[in-house]
Structure 1
């Protein structure tokens, strides 16, 4: 499938989706929105893919919404707020919270790793936060940006950001729109790891390869679903879900293989079943 604003590469059980407008710091466009979702859906349905990596071409991850698009919205809307675009559910079996226009990453059954290679601002920061794991290069810079555009905390960042870094820190970043470098992002909990810029994709691919080759894809899918669903559950409900899922795991092929490869001291051969 040909794409206008992204690149997709699949190999070694890893699908790499690259935002590909490097001359614009990969500023977000309607075409990019559509293509990223299509690529995520394709990777989620592909049994040969076990991990998804999202990154940006050139020296930026995503500088936010393309300013030309924002200016068109302002000009066409006048005093009227633009009507949000409708989006069909990514997966109707997950909570409705993960079925909105941008919050569908948690509904993807496979791990989504954000390789943050440069500026991630506004909508670009939102997309980075929806990744399950974020590994940043030393040149990564984060900014909510919204308050300096006369906008608000959009697309669920008001829900996601406090859960990652706490209420006070989230308000700081939202109200000020100040820039946060990679090391501060690590201290705040915005990213899981910071690596030298030149080694970013090597480190990300090594981590993704470990997930793809050495752990059960069934376990990853179930655990990801558990963690995101638990955001709306009581502890007792999460325990009950865990007990039910553990019983199902005992009946799975991956459980039998998990025990067998450990006992036999060999490479695992998980099937996801």
Structure 2
């Protein structure tokens, strides 16, 4: 188990629940959180006991944006220290996190328990299902801090909510309520604060408990990576290879046998050993 500084991690019944544990700072984002999140998804990808990942916060916030403890120097790369081991001085740490979530082999659910502002909102964009407490608030506040949208949000946000809403939120930098987030498609469901985590666990089990883990991992990558493709034929080339690989697998034989015998399937393949090569690089070079 990784030694996290900013997260508490509990793994039970196939679910990894990671909770930001800086409530006195409203779980604001710092270099230690970058390292912890990168390590978290390395850990969950490698652990075949984990079927899905839930990310939530402690206290009044999911993550209230960047830690502004350095004042006006907070976003000045020339004056940053303590992040040389997480991509160097010129790379956006939030973007590293979102790209790592994008590459996750397990479904990822956001259980947003309070303020989700700045990186607290943008890190949720590559997650597969976003749930929120009814009193949660969101904000893409970058223009009000003199910076620009980060963490690949210029790619993710318009795809999720449409260009007009993405521009409205990022131009104005206003903070808005969870109901508006649901209406725009940023959030899929609202819950009473005390019921949020249980609802997230229920959703995670609904997504994964009866499915083959390798098939889920591949479906996640096909759906997300498909967003980068220019033509359906590009996806056809990839999913044909993947489908053929799965068609020869022990999981298929078990899945069909279980269906015909009217019993629960016991899929033998594991994500750590049975993922086929899908033909794309994990991450393009950064320059």
User: Which TM-score band (shorter chain)?
Assistant: 0.7 to 0.9
Alignment match, 1:108: 104
* Aligned pairs for 1:61-100 within 5 A: 61-69=62-70, 71-73=72-74, 87=86
Q: Are 2:241 and 1:244 equivalent residues in the alignment?
A: yes
Residues 1:261 and 2:270 are matched in the alignment: no
Per-residue CA deviation, residues 135-175 of structure 1 (Å, 9 max, x unaligned), is 11212211001111111111211111001011111000001
- How far off its partner does 1:81 sit? 8.0
Instruction: After superposition, give the CA deviation of every residue in 1:195-246 in whole Å (9 maximum; x if it has no partner).
Output: 2222111111111123342111111111111112212221111122222222
1:272 Cα shift? 3.4
In 2: Cα distance, 1:156 partner to 1:85 partner: 20
Q: What's 1:94 paired with?
A: none
- Map 1:185-264; keep pairs closer than 5 Å: 185-233=181-229, 234-264=231-261
Residues 1:166 and 1:266: Cα distance change in structure 2 (over 3 Å): same
**Is the CA contact (8 Å cut-off) linking 1:29 and 1:69 kept in structure 2?**
no
1:7 corresponding residue in structure 2: 8
Evaluate the alpha carbon distance shift between residue 223 and residue 202 of structure 1 in structure 2; reply closer, same or farther with a 3 A threshold: same
Secondary structure at 2:218's aligned position in 1?
A: helix
Cα distance, 1:40–1:67 mapped onto 2, change above 3 Å: same
What SS does structure 2 have at the residue aligned with 1:136? strand
Per the alignment, do residues 100 and 67 of structure 1 end up closer, same or farther by CA in structure 2, a change over 3 Å counting? closer
Q: Number of paired residues?
A: 260
**8 Å contact 2:41–2:100 — kept in the other structure?**
no
- Indicate how the Cα distance of structure 1 residues 50 and 272 shifts in structure 2: closer, same or farther if over 3 A, else same: farther
- Superposition pairs of residues 22-33 of structure 1, within 5 angstroms: 22-33=23-34
User: 1: CA distance between counterparts of 2:226 and 2:34?
Assistant: 28
- Correspondence for 2:136: 140
Greater mean alpha carbon deviation, residues 99-108 or residues 197-206: 99-108
- Provide the alpha-carbon RMSD of the alignment: 2.2
| Distance (whole Å) between structure 2 residues aligned to residue 71 and residue 51 of structure 1 | 38
- The verdict on how the C-alpha distance between 1:186 and 1:258 changes in structure 2, with shifts beyond 3 A counting, is same
State the TM-score, normalizing by the size of structure 2: 0.84
CA contact (8 A) 1:106 1:224 kept: no
**Cα deviation digits, residues 39-75 of structure 1 (max 9, x gap):** 211111111111111111122100000110454436x
CA distance in structure 2 between the partners assigned to 1:184 and 1:47 by the alignment: 37
Give the structure with the higher percent helix.
1
The secondary structure found in structure 1 opposite 2:170 is: helix
- For residues 151 and 85 of structure 2, the distance between their equivalents in structure 1, rounded to whole angstroms, comes to 13
Judge conservation of contact 1:54–1:113 (CA < 8 Å) in 2: yes
List alignment gaps of at least 5 residues for structure 1: 89-98
Change in Cα spacing, 1:28 to 1:185, as seen in structure 2 (3 Å) is same
1:85, distance to aligned residue in structure 2 (A) = 5.7
Greater Cα shift, 243-252 or 99-108: 99-108
